[in-house]
Structure 1
Amino acid sequence: MTKLEGGTGMFGKRQLRKLLTVGVFLFLFFTVAFGDLMEDITNIVKGISPEIHGMYNALSLNMWNASLIYEDSKLAIGLRLHDESTRSESYKLGFITMKRPVDKSYFNFMAFVGQVHGVALTIGYESYSIPVTGFEKTYYISTNQVLQSEYSKTWLSLPSIPLGETVIGPFALNYEGFSLSKLGNEEPKIEINIKRGYALIDTLPLSFVQIGGIYSFGMFLFADKSLEQGAIVNLGWDFDEGRLVGVLGGRLFIDFQDFRFFFATFGTYIPSSQNVKYGVWFRFLSPISGDLIIQNNVAYFKLRFSE
């Protein structure tokens, strides 16, 4: 009886060991297979190169040379023509010849027809030499509305300049701005207008922020050397309401696993008008790239998979 129980116990342990081995093998197999599947799906999606673009009351999903447009509950199909040209320069690094990108220019033209029809054109340019500059402009014209958006950036760094017995500088500037407007006389007026500029003159950090009709100047605190991160404390004037206002905010880089982006927010509160005026700007770097910009409940976004 004892031996039988012992034999049964040994037989049970061997079965349990086999089951555990098979279970671990299946778990690893499905984990690897699922990981490979997700990687394959990601590669397929990147190959398709989807891009989603949202402006006021209009949304487009772009894949290859085709687009699906949704505007004010109406659908349309679009065809795209796009091109990109990158210019590089060669230089010697020891016995190796290296290439460095100098600038890039691109355009994207789309014509769409359906329940709504129209055209959209985007042109852009980026320079990678110091000063780093760039711009992008989009015109969206449909049977219902005409939209225009514009993005620009500048980054420069200059050494100290001797002036008599004194030295001025060094200087650094980091500027970025975006605007979106709906053209015409329709009310309410739809627009986004956010601009921020950070400057460093010797050790004096300065900031400029525009949120719609608010223009403000002040200090850029806790800034890094690239002027990409920091907090702002500004004093400005609200031209819409004709009053002095304070503006607080800042910009922060966030790196969470593979998800990397900049988060910027600026805002002011006007008690007498019971109104909070604000601007929020996400600049995504990976695994998706693009922007999500919100100002006073009006939003714009353009997102695509990073290369």
Structure 2
Amino acid sequence: MRLVTYRASIEAEARLGAVSGSLVVDMQRLGAATNTPLPSTMLEFIDLGPNAVTIASDLIAAANGLFPVGVATPLANVKLLAPIPRPRKNIFGIGLNYTEHVAESARSLDTSADLPRQPVIFSKPPTTVVGPGDPIVHNAKITQQLDWEVELAAVIGVAAKGVAREDALAHVFGYTVLIDMSARDCRRAGQWIYSKGQDTFAPMGPCIVTADEIPDPQTLDLSLSVNGVQKQSSNTAYMLFKVDELIADISQGITLEPGDIIATGTPAGVGAGLDPQEWLWPGDTIEAEVQGIGRLRHAVIAA
């Protein structure tokens, strides 16, 4: 399933939907029409557990494109929001998780040239999240080095505590696209949260594709362009620590809960790694895409 959070109008409340062809099917209203209780938000849906995806998929398939009045809306007529507009806690970010990005970071950001022996973990607050098409804010009072990073993000569906790697993917609800925006000149004594955690620094979407449709998350192309010029192009096969390794590692000391988000790292091609270095400025547009999930497009604006 391709699940979205959407508004049918500017004034409307945010609601949970599933993309079916050219339509967005409202999950709660579909449930009401079929005497099957379903929630109106993504987090509530994730909380129902793995069977919720099967139940909802069966209901959509049974409708065969003919939905009751008020249940479905043309996708072109809705505003998509971040799939999880307000995560319950910080996003888990993974740094230096592609070999070539380790090398370019060592050249330009004073990080170690040695490949990490364990995942490098930081976090991004819930207030970093914005949805498809929303602006990314460049605060010139804080940064002159605004940078881009396209990433695959994994969304946890079943609580994970001390899980083994071979069991880890069973805890994934689905996957989405995330842009890990970074103010490179805002690192503080080696700490990244102020650099990575500023408002609007985690564009996310356009949907969550449920894990049953992506059985192997290590086969996906991902790319990013700035003003139409490609800057990043790689494949998740080149992660140093795969999605299952990341879940297993984090869960040894931190319980991963339903709705938690892991941004799995970025490949080479960030602005800091170019020669000469390139930074984002108001008026720029970035586009990021992960195969099988979708594309994000965002304008950069002044604070």
Instruction: Tell me which structure has the larger Cα radius of gyration.
Output: 1
Q: Do the structures match in fold with TM over 0.5?
A: no
Q: What is the TM-score when the length of structure 1 is the normalising length?
A: 0.27
User: Which structure's residues are more often helix, by fraction?
Assistant: 2
Q: What is the TM-score when the length of structure 2 is the normalising length?
A: 0.28
